[in-house]
Amino acid sequence: MSKPTILIADDDRDLTDLISLRCQHLGLNVITANDADDAILKINTFLPNIVCLDVSMPSGNGLDICELMSADQLTAQIPVIIFTGNPNHEIVKRCFTSCAYYIPKCSDTWSRIEPLLRELFDLHSGTKDNLTMTPTKQNHVSNNDNLPGSGDQNNALDLVFRALGLDEDSFTVSANQKESNAPPWILHVEDDEELSNSLKLRLESHGVAVVRAFAGMEGYRTAFTQPADLIILDVDMPDGRGDYVLRRLKENIVTKDIPVIILTGRKDRALERKMLNLGAEKYFTKPYIFDDILEELLKHINILPTSSNVENKLLALS
């Protein structure tokens, strides 16, 4: 079995050499770059299993490279570690929204990188010939999609959300920051675009703004960067099942107090109990009765009444 490959891009050659040597001791194949252009070339040429990028490099910025990778199908699933000697709020936020791992350069940088590499790769001391990739964003398709909270996908997302050195408490985003006269808004995380659009039209008729996300990870990032008044969450979605996303929402200081309502096609009592135990306010199944959802929403946000004519038109569209 071939060794997993890591690309390390940093203009600090001493640090690059040190990290490279230690990665080789872990049994990894190492590629290095000392500027952004070289890093982009080697990422596209070798498609490494993981990429480590400095932020400030000649000819470019590591965060820009990370975002370019996210926009390219060939590289979007490669895990990225960002490290910098000049951390600030904006850098940490961009790392988080790009699902990159953030590690500050300091005297114990390697002590932060090594355990992350051991999670991303199946690294065992003294068994360099048997290195394998653990489930990451590259290979997280699960054969157990019918089992709540199980499968390789959750292992992959654990690695994404557990970014070493990322202090979520440092973010100042807060639901209380919005203007007092602003209309309530709901984040709807649902991969069925037709259903999402139908619910959006009905809620907007009641004066509620709706932001939509069509995958689990996208929904989590949106909730973190733009805390909603309430979240309506599906269960079976690409890139992060609803039960897993709900657990992460409730663990995060920024999002833990946002009410979450589950709307899913899964008529499963065990799953319902699990979601309620994780912190969901209510569990609804599809096809849904809008009045039931509206009644639950009224417990958490201010909703305007709508005329029967408007509602009848919306019913005709659904």
- What would the pLDDT profile of 94-122 be if each residue is shown by its tens digit? 887 777 888 888 777 888 888 888 877 76
Q: How many CA atoms lie within 13 A of 47 on its CB side?
A: 7
Q: Which amino acid is present at 231?
A: I
Query: Interior CA angle at 70 toward 252 and 172, to 5°?
Result: 30
User: Collapsing DSSP states into helix, strand and coil, what is residue 125?
Assistant: coil
* Nearest in space to 171 (alpha carbons), one of 76, 92, 111: 92
Query: Interior CA angle at 170 toward 165 and 171, to 5°?
Result: 115
* Nearest in space to 316 (alpha carbons), one of 198, 195, 207: 198
CA 171 to chain centre: 16
Torsion of CA 51, 55, 56, 60, to 10 degrees: 60
Give the per-residue pLDDT at 283: 97
Residues 6+ apart with CB under 8 A from 102: 82, 83, 87, 91, 92, 95, 96, 163, 164, 165, 166
Cβ distance 159 to 119 under 8 Å? yes
**pLDDT tens profile 193-234:** 999 999 999 999 888 999 999 988 888 878 877 778 999 999
What does pLDDT average to in each consecutive run of 10 residues of the chain (318 residues)? 88 89 92 94 94 92 90 87 81 77 80 82 49 40 33 48 42 46 86 93 90 88 82 90 87 85 94 94 95 93 61 47
Q: Which amino acid is present at 56?
A: S
Count the residues in the chain. Answer: 318
Give the per-residue pLDDT at 171: 44
Encoding tokens for residue 240? Answer: 């992060």
Residue 172 phi, psi dihedral angles, 5° rounding: -100, 5
* Nearest in space to 136 (alpha carbons), one of 115, 149, 120: 120
Domains and CATH numbers, the chain: 5-168 (3.40.50.2300), 179-317 (3.40.50.2300)
Beta pairing class for 185-189 and 132-133: unpaired
Encoding tokens for residue 267? Answer: 């008529």
Residues 6+ apart with CB under 8 A from 277: none
Neighbours of 207 (CB within 10 A): 14
Query: Interior CA angle at 74 toward 69 and 75, to 5°?
Result: 30
Long-range pairs of 137-143 with CB within 8 A, sequence gap ≥ 24: 137/76, 137/77, 137/78, 137/79, 137/99, 138/49, 138/77, 138/78, 138/79
d(CA 244, CA 106) in angstroms, rounded, equals 32
Provide the β-strand partners of residue 173. Answer: none
d(CA 203, CA 17) in angstroms, rounded, equals 56
Model pTM? 0.51
Q: Which amino acid is present at 191?
A: D
* Nearest in space to 236 (alpha carbons), one of 260, 211, 267, 257: 267
Element (H, E) at 185: strand 185-189
